[in-house]
Structures are given as C-alpha cells and as structure tokens.
C-alpha cells in the first residue's frame, strides 16, 4: 500500500498541469512572480497555509499574465484541498478568463459543470433568424444581391437527408471574402450562421477554394464538414497558403430554434513565405446521441493557436 505522501504526490502528477510558466528560469529575489513557484512547491509539500499565502501574493503582485493564470489554477487546487468549493470554482474561472485551457476546464467541470460550460470554445450559439429568405437576410445587412444572394452554394457528395423539424441545410461561400454562410431551414423559416476560415483576418483573400465534405448526423445533431484552401496576403512580404478541414455542429434545444457551434478545425496546414510548414491534426469522437464530442490533439503547433481550447470533452448544450 502506498504511503500517504507517495499517494499524494502521484495524485499531483495525475492532475496534469504543472504549467510551463512555472518551469521558467529562476526568478530574481525581488520578482513578485517568484511567489507562484514557491507557492506551488509548498503545495506539493501539502503546506496549504504557506501555499495559499504565496500564491495569492503572486496573483496580486505579478504582472505576467501566464504566471497569474498558472497561480490562479494552483489556488483552485489549494482551495479544493481546504474544502473551499466556492473559492476553488472562482479561482479556476479566473484562470480560464486569462487563458482557456482544457485541463482547467476539466477541473472546474468536476465542481461546477455549468461554469465550465460557459468557457467551452464549442459552446453552441443561436443562429440568426428566422428569415423568410436569403433576400431578407441580405436586407438585414444592407447587402446587395450580388454580394449576398450571389454566393456559391456547395453541393455535398451525398444528398442531405432532411429530418423534421429541419427541412433542409445548405452551405454558401464567398470565395473572395473568406467566409461561408450556413443555412438551416426549420419549418419553412431560414436561420443563418457565418463561418469564418482560418485566414479570415479582416482583409480580402484570393484564390480560396471550398469543398463541402458533407452533412453527418450524430444522434439529433448535424455535423457540417468542409474543406477550404487558399492564399492570404496583406503585403508583398506578408502572406501564407493554408488548407483546413473543419466542422460546424447544428442542433435544436428547448428554444425550438437551431444553434451552431463555432467552427472547429481538425486539420490545418499552413505554409508562409519563408516556406515554414505547420500542421495541426485533431481527432473527434462523438457520443451516440450527438450531445458531446471528445477531441484528441494528435499534432499541433503554436500557429494553430487553440490547442488547449479545443481539446478534451465538450458537452454540446443547445439552447
């Protein structure tokens, strides 16, 4: 049987987040950020009074966001061990406000699933609508027919099999503007969600090519998968080619109106002007009823930018 100290140390390792920020070179004696590392060491020794005091000092006085975020997570662990559930929930929430990390969300979810869900990057949001037609949607944004209704409607490889209350689904794209429009027909009323691409950074793109992979049902939800590639250029010396495969998930909750998740990219390749190639690959695993998805990160890079936000368990609560 493991000793109490050994069992405690193994539990600390299983928590899975001795943050990189705290593995930085030693702090100067007068650097208040160093209190975070000292607090973590005290916590590892289970000296909770000392750990809490040092950790709170770092949160109050350190001006490095990554250190404060780590210290807030550590404070949550300390308060959990002290039986202060409410304090731990607030500490984890503050950590997530600084940096949305999957391991912190998972820890918070054990204490307050609703609070953790509010930080979920895949949290579904109501689609815009209803509209009588795409013309009515365009009029809402004072767009001309050529700018809005003239978008290319992508055809899936396999026809979409509508199932009540959804009558139809379509994806229209604007190849020169870097975004698409997902359209869902519910009871003869149109609902719309804008889908940006990885390169949708506020300036026109060129040579964007879209392909609708298809509409896949997961229980009561619909996964809309697509592939898009192209070239983004701001200046002659600043640009990149990219290729992404992504999905948006649509479902209908108690509101009886469709909601959609933000796009999540499970494959991304980027090549910049220097020839640097970066890649991200993520693997989704769906629950049978489509109410949740677990995303494993197979390969990623800093350029992808959302490794911590997207990996892990995502409960898809459609409003």
Given a cut of 80, whether residue 183 has pLDDT beyond it is yes
- Tell whether 153 and 260 lie within a shared domain: yes
Average pLDDT over residues 235-249: 84
- Tell whether 212 and 146 lie within a shared domain: yes
Highest mean pLDDT among 168-182, 192-206, 241-255: 241-255
- Tell whether 77 and 215 lie within a shared domain: no
Cα–Cα distance for residue pair 200/263, rounded to 1 Å: 12
Average pLDDT over residues 174-180: 68
Domain boundary among 117, 146, 162: 117
Average pLDDT over residues 77-101: 93
**Tokens found for residue 292:** 């949740």
CATH of the domain at 20: 1.25.40.10
pLDDT class of 315 with cuts at 50, 70, 90: confident
**Tokens found for residue 252:** 């209908």
Candidate from 56-60, 104-108, 125-129, 149-153 with smallest mean pLDDT: 149-153
31 burial level (CB within 10 Å; 0-12, 13-18, 19+):
middle
- Tell whether 183 and 211 lie within a shared domain: yes
- Tell whether 288 and 162 lie within a shared domain: yes
- Tell whether 184 and 305 lie within a shared domain: yes
- Tell whether 162 and 53 lie within a shared domain: no
Based on the structure, what is the number of domains in the chain? 2
Highest mean pLDDT among 102-106, 222-226, 301-305: 222-226
Residue 157 is part of which domain span?
125-315
Candidate from 12-16, 61-65, 127-131, 301-305 with smallest mean pLDDT: 12-16
Backbone angles phi, psi at 73, to 5 degrees: -65, -45
Cα–Cα distance for residue pair 71/318, rounded to 1 Å: 33
- Give pLDDT, residue 22: 44
Domain boundary among 117, 147, 172: 117
Candidate from 9-13, 264-268, 270-274 with smallest mean pLDDT: 9-13
Exposure b/e, 184-194, CB count within 10 A at least 16 = b = bbbeebbbbbe
- Tell whether 245 and 177 lie within a shared domain: yes
Relative to beta strand 292-299, strand 312-315 is antiparallel
The residue that leads in pLDDT, 150 or 135, is 135
Domain boundary among 79, 101, 117: 117
- Give pLDDT, residue 174: 72
Could you read off the pLDDT of 5-31 as tens digits, one per residue? 333 333 333 333 444 344 444 555 567
Average pLDDT over residues 191-217: 78
Backbone angles phi, psi at 290, to 5 degrees: 75, 10
- Give pLDDT, residue 161: 81
- Give pLDDT, residue 3: 33
For the entire predicted model, the pTM comes to: 0.74
Given a cut of 80, whether residue 203 has pLDDT beyond it is no
- Give pLDDT, residue 72: 94
- Tell whether 136 and 277 lie within a shared domain: yes
Residue 232 CA from chain centroid, whole number:
23
Candidate from 28-32, 54-58, 177-181 with smallest mean pLDDT: 28-32
- Tell whether 286 and 225 lie within a shared domain: yes
Beta pairing partners, 268 = 244, 280
- Per the CB < 8 A criterion, the answer to whether 189 and 132 are in contact is yes
- Tell whether 160 and 275 lie within a shared domain: yes
Average pLDDT over residues 47-54: 94
- Tell whether 102 and 145 lie within a shared domain: no
Task: Return the HEC string of the chain.
Answer: CCCHHHHHHHHHHHHCCCCHHHHCCCCCCCCCCHHHHHHHHHHHCCCHHHHHHHHHHHHHHCCCHHHHHHHHHHHHHHHHHCCCHHHHHHHHHHHHHHCCCHHHHHHHHHHCHHHHHCCCCCCCEECEEEECCHHHHHHHCCCCCCCCCCCEECCCCCCCCCECCEEEEEEEEECCCCEEEEEEEECCEEEEEEEECCCCCCCCCEEEEEEEEEEEEECCEEEEEEEEEEEEEEECCEEEEEEEEEEEEEEECCCCCEEECCCEEEEEEEEECCCCEEEEEEEEEECCCCCEEEEEEEECCCCCCCHHHHCEEEECCCC
Mean pLDDT taken over the chain? 80
């Amino acid at each position: 049987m493991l000793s109490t100290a050994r069992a405690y140390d193994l539990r600390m390792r299983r928590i899975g987040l001795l943050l990189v920020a705290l593995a930085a070179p030693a702090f100067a004696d007068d650097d208040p950020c160093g209190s975070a590392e000292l607090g973590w060491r005290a916590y590892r020794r289970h000296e909770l009074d000392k750990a809490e005091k040092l950790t709170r000092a770092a949160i109050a006085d350190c001006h490095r966001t990554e250190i404060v975020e780590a210290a807030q997570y550590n404070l949550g662990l300390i308060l959990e061990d002290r039986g202060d559930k409410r304090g731990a929930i607030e500490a984890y929430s503050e950590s997530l406000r600084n940096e949305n990390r999957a391991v912190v969300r998972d820890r918070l979810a054990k204490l307050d699933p609703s609070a953790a869900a509010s930080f979920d990057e895949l949290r579904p949001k109501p689609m815009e609508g209803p509209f009588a037609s795409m013309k009515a949607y365009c009029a809402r944004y004072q767009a001309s027919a050529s700018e809005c209704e003239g978008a290319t409607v992508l055809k899936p490889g396999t026809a979409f099999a509508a199932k009540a209350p959804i009558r139809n689904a379509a994806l229209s794209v604007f190849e020169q503007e870097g975004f698409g429009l997902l359209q869902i027909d519910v009871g003869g009323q149109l609902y719309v969600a804008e889908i940006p691409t990885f390169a949708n950074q506020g300036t026109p793109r060129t040579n964007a090519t879209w392909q609708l992979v298809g509409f896949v049902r997961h229980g009561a939800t619909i996964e809309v998968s697509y592939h898009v590639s192209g070239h983004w250029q701001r200046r002659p010396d600043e640009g990149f080619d990219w290729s992404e495969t992504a999905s948006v998930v649509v479902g209908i909750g108690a509101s009886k109106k469709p909601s959609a998740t933000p796009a999540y990219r499970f494959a991304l390749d980027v090549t910049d002007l220097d020839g640097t190639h970066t890649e991200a690959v993520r693997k989704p695993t769906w629950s049978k009823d489509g109410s949740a998805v677990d995303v494993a990160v197979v390969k990623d890079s800093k350029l992808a930018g959302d490794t911590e936000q997207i990996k892990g368990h995502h409960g898809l609560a459609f409003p």
